[in-house]
Amino acid sequence: MKVMKFGGTSVGSPERMKSVSKLITSSGEPVVIVLSAMSGTTNSLVEISNYLYRKNPEGANEVINRLEQKYMSHVEDLYSTEKWKKETRSFLREEFNYLRSFTKDLFTSFEEKSIVAQGEIMSTNMVVNYLKECGVDAELLSALDFMRTDKNGEPDTSYIKEKLTALLEEVKGKQIYITQGFICRNAYGEIDNLQRGGSDYTASLIGAAINAEEIQIWTDIDGMHNNDPRIVDGTEAVRQLHFEEAAELAYFGAKILHPTCIQPAKYAGIPVRLLNTMEPEAQGTIIDNVTLRGKIKAVAAKDNITAIKIKSSRMLLATGFLRKVFEIFESYQTAIDMVATSEVGVSMSIDNDTHLAEIVDELKKYGTVTVDTDMCIVCVVGDLDWSNVGFETLATDALKNIPVRMISYGGSNYNISFLIRESDKKAALQSLSDTLFK
Ligand code: ADP
Ligand code: ASP
Ligand code: MG
C-alpha cells in the first residue's frame, strides 16, 4: 500500500477537496490517505484557544461563528445531493457546538488540544462524505484510535503498528482508508498532537507501521526546492535527496517537511515522494537511500536562534568540562543545534529560549557568558563528505560579505551550517543560490 498525505492548501476549498478525491481514486490500488485541516483552520482554532486562555468568550465565539459560516457554505459547494448536504451539516453543527462548549469552563492546555484537533476531524469527515456521495468505498479511521505518544512525548511506534494493523484487518478490502494527520493521544489517553505541521509526521509514522511501498507528501509546490522559495527568487525543484539530506533540510527550516518526519521513513527504508496537488504530473522530489556524489543539493534557514558563548581563562576544555556545560542545557530540556569549541571557550546555539535566563545564570559559574539573539542558521546540504575537496570553500565564498558568528562542519557527511544575523538571512540565501546553483 501507498500512503498519500495532503496538506492544508490541498484540501483548502471544496474545489480542492474534489481534485484530491479524483487524485486518490484514480490510482486504482488501495491507499491510506492522511489529511490536514483545511488551510487556515488550525490557526483559527489556536486563535479561539488564545481568547479562552485570556477569558474572553465573546472573542472566541466570534471566531467560532465566522468559521461555522465558512464551513456551512463549503457544504453547499461540495455536495450535490440533499442527503449528503444534510448529513454533513448536522455533523458540522455538532462540531461547532462542541467548540462552543469550551467557552463556559476552565481552560487549560488539555482543552486547547481538544479544540485544535477538530480541524483534521472536520476535513476528513467532509472528504469521506464526498467520496461516499461519489460511490467510492472509503473508510474513515480515527487517528485517535491508533496514533499515540509515550511518556516522553515521542511516538509509541510499537503501539501504533499493533493498533493500526488490527484496525486495517477489521475493515480489510476497502479501496481507500482516510485518517487525520497531526492528532494523536498521549500516554495517558488524552487528546494531543504532533506539533504544528505534524501531518507529515503522521504520514511517515503510518508508512513505517504498515511497511508501505511509498510515502507521498502532496502539497502546493513541485517538491523540495534548492532554496527557500518564500525568500529567494528563481529557486528550482531538486529531483532527488538522500534521507539524511532531506532530514537536515527539514530540521533547518525547509517548511515543506515537518522537522522529524523523515526519521521513521529512513529507519524503515521507505522512499518519500514530494508532489504538487496543483500539478499532479510534475516529477516532484524523491527521497531515498541514494547519495549523488559531489553534489550540493539545497540550502535552508532556521530563524529565532540564540547563540551562547562561555569563555574562561582556566583550562576550559579539560576533561569533563563540556559534559558540565551540556548537562546545564539538558536539565532545562533545551536542545543544542550547533557547537564550536576553542582552547578558551565554547559557543552553542539553541532555538528554544524559554529557560535562557536560568541557563545563563548556571553557565556563569564557569566563566564569562555572552548571548546573541535574533540569529539564524543557514544550512547547506549535499554530499559534503570530508574527502570531497572544494565544497566548503564554495559555501564560505558565497558568504564573504556577511558576518558569520559560527560555522559547523563535519558533524555529518551531508551538511555545513553557518550562524549569521537574522537580518542578513535574505542576502545570505540569495548569494548562496547565485554561487551554488547558477
Ligand atoms: P502543507 O500545508 O501542504 O503541509 P506547507 O505550507 O507546510 O504545506 O509546506 C509547503 C510550503 O513550504 C511551500 O508552499 C513553500 O513556500 C514552503 N517551503 C519552504 N522551503 C521550501 C523548500 N526548500 N522547498 C519547497 N517548499 C518550501
Ligand atoms: N493542521 C496542522 C497545522 O496547521 C497540521 C498540518 O497541517 O500538518 O499545523
Ligand atoms: Mg506542512
36 and 127 fall within a common domain: yes
Q: Which residues line ligand 1 (CB under 6 A)?
A: 7-10, 36, 197, 219-221, 224-225, 228-230, 254-256, 300
**277 found inside a domain:** no
> Which of 202, 219, 236 is where one domain is finished?
219
> Which of 219, 244, 268 is where one domain is finished?
219
**96 found inside a domain:** yes
Cα of 24 vs centre of ligand 2, distance in Å, is 20
* 3-class secondary structure, 26: helix
Distance CA 10, CA 13 (A): 8
Total domain count, the chain: 2
Burial of 58 (0-12, 13-18, 19+ CB in 10 A): exposed
Mean pLDDT of 333-354: 93
> Which of 219, 235, 264 is where one domain is finished?
219
Distance CA 204, CA 159 (A): 15
**268 found inside a domain:** no
Q: What is the CATH number of the domain that holds 424?
A: 3.30.2130.10
| First-to-last C-alpha distance (Å) of the chain | 39
Mean pLDDT of 131-147: 97
69 and 191 fall within a common domain: yes
Q: What is the CATH number of the domain that holds 86?
A: 3.40.1160.10
Distance CA 272, CA 269 (A): 9
pLDDT tens readout for residues 185-220: 999 999 999 999 999 999 999 999 999 999 999 999
pLDDT tens readout for residues 359-383: 999 999 888 999 999 999 999 999 9
pLDDT tens readout for residues 62-87: 999 999 999 999 999 999 999 999 99
Mean pLDDT of 262-290: 97
Model confidence, pTM: 0.95
State which residues form the domain around 209.
2-219
Looking at all shown ligands, the one closest to residue 181's CA atom is 2
pLDDT score at 316: 56
pLDDT tens readout for residues 287-334: 999 998 888 999 999 999 999 999 876 655 567 788 889 999 999 999
312 and 191 fall within a common domain: no
Radius of gyration of the chain (CA): 24
pLDDT score at 318: 66
Mean pLDDT of 394-416: 95
168 and 31 fall within a common domain: yes
Burial of 402 (0-12, 13-18, 19+ CB in 10 A): middle
**426 found inside a domain:** yes
184 and 323 fall within a common domain: no
Report DSSP letters for 83-126, one per residue: HHHHHHHHHHHHHHHHHHHTTSS---HHHHHHHHTHHHHHHHHH
**282 found inside a domain:** no
Cβ–Cβ < 8 Å for 392, 259: no
pLDDT score at 317: 56
Annotated binding site for ATP: 5-8, 219-220, 230
pLDDT score at 231: 97
pLDDT tens readout for residues 7-55: 999 999 999 999 999 999 987 889 999 999 999 999 999 999 999 999 9
406 and 317 fall within a common domain: yes
Annotated binding site for substrate: 42, 120
Closest CA to 131 of 188, 87, 187, 165: 87
pLDDT score at 106: 85
313 and 212 fall within a common domain: no
Cβ–Cβ < 8 Å for 274, 368: no
Choose one of 16, 239, 256, 426 to mutate for the ligand 1 pocket test, by most ligand atoms within 8 angstroms of C-beta: 256
For the chain, the average pLDDT equals 95
**276 found inside a domain:** no
Distance CA 119, CA 232 (A): 31
pLDDT tens readout for residues 87-131: 999 999 999 999 999 998 788 899 999 999 999 999 999 999 999
22 and 138 fall within a common domain: yes
* Percent of the chain with pLDDT strictly greater than 90: 88
Ligand 1, atom 12, residue with closest C-alpha: 256
| 404-409: strand order across its sheet | 336-341, 345-350, 296-311, 368-382, 415-421, 404-409
Which set of grid coordinates corresponds to residue 274? 514530494
**267 found inside a domain:** no
**235 found inside a domain:** no
Choose one of 42, 43, 200, 218 to mutate for the ligand 2 pocket test, by most ligand atoms within 8 angstroms of C-beta: 42
Annotated binding site: 5-8, 42, 120, 219-220, 230
In single-letter form, the type of residue at position 134 comes to C
Mean pLDDT of 323-351: 93
* Percent of the chain with pLDDT strictly greater than 70: 98
Distance CA 179, CA 210 (A): 14
